């Protein structure tokens, strides 16, 4: 049995239709893929993003800044998306397991991620959230929301960006470990976890969105995972992505990916955090990380799809 942390992108849950019904359906389709791991005998730990959802939640609140019905701060919005997405996953996963005759508990855990109050990310927003805007909408949006920062997101349009500090600790780590050891399928650290700092013995929320790829890597290291799998909407990691000479990677040594990161070759806010999170995991544990398409889970389990990032020693063995 392998212990596997699987991270799913918020864009995989919300693509075009942002209704609760459509997102629930996307989650139901997603878990049909994830049960393959459990059927394969693996202990699964699920984590997910919330970029599109938390951005939409903020937009829904724009007109509710009255004293009677105030808008919620970003950390609380993060908690709300963790709750809603966790709720969809918990029920969908339980039902999908039952359909295959597997009686296993599934449990979403409200997770807080401790960050550093002095993280430079607080003054350098980089995490894309909410919908994609066309280039010709940008001037109007900037005029309407002068406090927003906007960034181009991997050739897909412009998005609002917010601070994204790095996870330092996972507050609920020991509870997560207990749940994992009990064989329960936990859904943890949704949206990267609610960003908090410790102040005077208390946890205080910060207005930010943590990258779930970094939290997934941290959790995978803390639970001694055998593998970290980051599932997204692309078959793997490409060099020269989107250019005529793009190349998809299948097996790659961590040192090679590190060189390409150092050369600034990966898109910030999309592929860069994934490769960085994978590299951190591989370097800390010596175990492999995989980046691949949610649709390819069966082949990722077989090792025939996705980009597998190996520790150097592993690559030398091959």
Ligand X SMILES: Nc1ncnc2c1ncn2[C@@H]1O[C@H](COP(=O)(O)OP(=O)(O)O)[C@@H](O)[C@H]1O
Question: Which residues sit at the interface with ligand CP, rule CB under 6 A?
Answer: 9-11, 49-52, 191-192, 209, 211-212
Longest dimension (CA), the chain: 64
Contact 203, 194 (CB under 8 A): no
Instruction: Tell me if residue 10 is catalytic.
Output: yes
By the rule CB under 6 A, 114 interacts with ligand X: no
Answer left, alpha or beta for residue 160, where phi above 0 means left and psi between -120 and 50 means alpha: beta
Look at the block and give the residue holding tokens 């449990």.
107
Minimum CB separation from ligand CP for residue 82, in Å? 10
| Number of residues engaging ligand X in binding (CB under 6 A) | 17
x-marked contacts with ligand X along 137-166 as a string, rule CB under 6 A: -----------------x------------
- The correct pick among 18, 22, 267, 284 for binding ligand X (CB under 6 A) is 267
Q: What's the half-sphere exposure (Cβ side, CA atoms, 13 Å) at 99?
A: 12
Applying CB under 6 A, among 233, 247, 251, 303 the residue interacting with ligand X is: 233
Closest by CA to 196, choosing from 49, 73, 52, is 73
Helices and strands per DSSP (H, E), number in the chain: 11, 17
| Residue 292 falls in the annotated catalytic set | no
Minimum Å gap between C-beta 230 and ligand X is 7
**H or E, element range at 140:** helix 138-144
Answer yes or no whether residue 232 interacts with ligand X by CB under 6 A: yes
Nearest approach, Cβ of 251 to ligand CP (angstroms)?
Answer: 25
Interface residues for ligand X in 46-75 (CB under 6 A)? 49, 51
Q: Is 136 a catalytic residue?
A: no
Q: Which of 94, 218, 227, 274 is an active site residue?
A: 274
Of the candidates 55, 78, 127, 191, the residue annotated as catalytic is 127
Contact call for residue 82 and ligand X (CB under 6 A): no
Measured between alpha carbons, how far is 128 from 91 in angstroms, rounded to an integer? 28
Binding part of the chain for ligand X, among 25-33, 194-202, 221-229, 230-238 by CB under 6 A, reads 230-238
Q: Which of 5, 6, 11, 119 binds ligand X (CB under 6 A)?
A: 11
Helix axis angle for 51-60 and 74-99, nearest 10°, is 130
* Rounded Cα gap, residues 79 and 238, in angstroms: 33
**Rg for the chain, CA atoms, rounded:** 19
Using CB under 6 A as the binding rule, whether residue 209 contacts ligand X is answered as no
CA distance linking residue 96 with residue 189, whole number of Å: 22
| C-alpha dist (Å) from residue 86 to 67, 78, 287 | 29, 12, 27
- Residues that are catalytic: 10-11, 127, 212, 274
Given the rule CB under 6 A, which residues bind ligand X?
9-12, 49, 51, 154, 232-234, 237-238, 241, 266-267, 270-271
């Amino acid at each position: 049995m392998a212990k596997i942390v699987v991270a799913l992108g918020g864009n995989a849950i919300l693509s075009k239709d942002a209704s609760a019904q459509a997102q629930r359906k996307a989650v139901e389709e997603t878990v049909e893929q994830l049960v393959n791991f459990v059927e394969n005998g693996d202990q699964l730990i699920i984590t997910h993003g919330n970029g599109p959802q938390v951005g939409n939640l903020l937009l829904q609140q724009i007109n509710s800044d009255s004293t009677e019905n105030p808008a919620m701060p970003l950390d609380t919005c993060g908690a709300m998306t963790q709750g809603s997405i966790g709720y969809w996953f918990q029920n969908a996963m339980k039902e999908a397991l039952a359909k295959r005759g597997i009686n296993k508990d599934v449990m979403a855990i409200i997770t807080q991620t401790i960050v550093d109050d002095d993280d430079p990310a607080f003054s350098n927003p980089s995490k894309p959230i909410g919908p994609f805007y066309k280039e010709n909408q940008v001037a109007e949006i900037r005029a309407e929301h002068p406090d927003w920062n906007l960034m181009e997101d991997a050739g897909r349009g412009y998005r609002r960006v917010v601070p994204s500090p790095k996870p330092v600790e996972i507050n609920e780590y020991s509870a997560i470990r207990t749940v994992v050891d009990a064989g329960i399928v936990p859904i943890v650290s949704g949206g990267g976890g609610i960003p908090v700092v410790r102040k005077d013995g208390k946890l205080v929320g910060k207005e930010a969105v943590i990258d779930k790829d970094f939290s997934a890597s941290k959790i995978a290291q803390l639970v001694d995972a055998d593998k970290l799998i980051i599932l997204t909407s692309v078959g793997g990691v490409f060099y020269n992505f989107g250019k005529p000479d793009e190349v998809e990677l299948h097996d790659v040594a961590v040192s090679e990916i590190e060189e390409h990161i150092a050369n600034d070759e990966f898109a910030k806010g999309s592929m860069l955090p994934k490769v960085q999170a994978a590299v951190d995991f591989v370097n800390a544990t010596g175990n492999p990380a995989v980046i691949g398409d949610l649709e390819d889970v069966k082949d990722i389990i077989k090792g025939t799809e996705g980009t597998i990032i190996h520790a150097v020693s592993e690559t030398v063995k091959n």
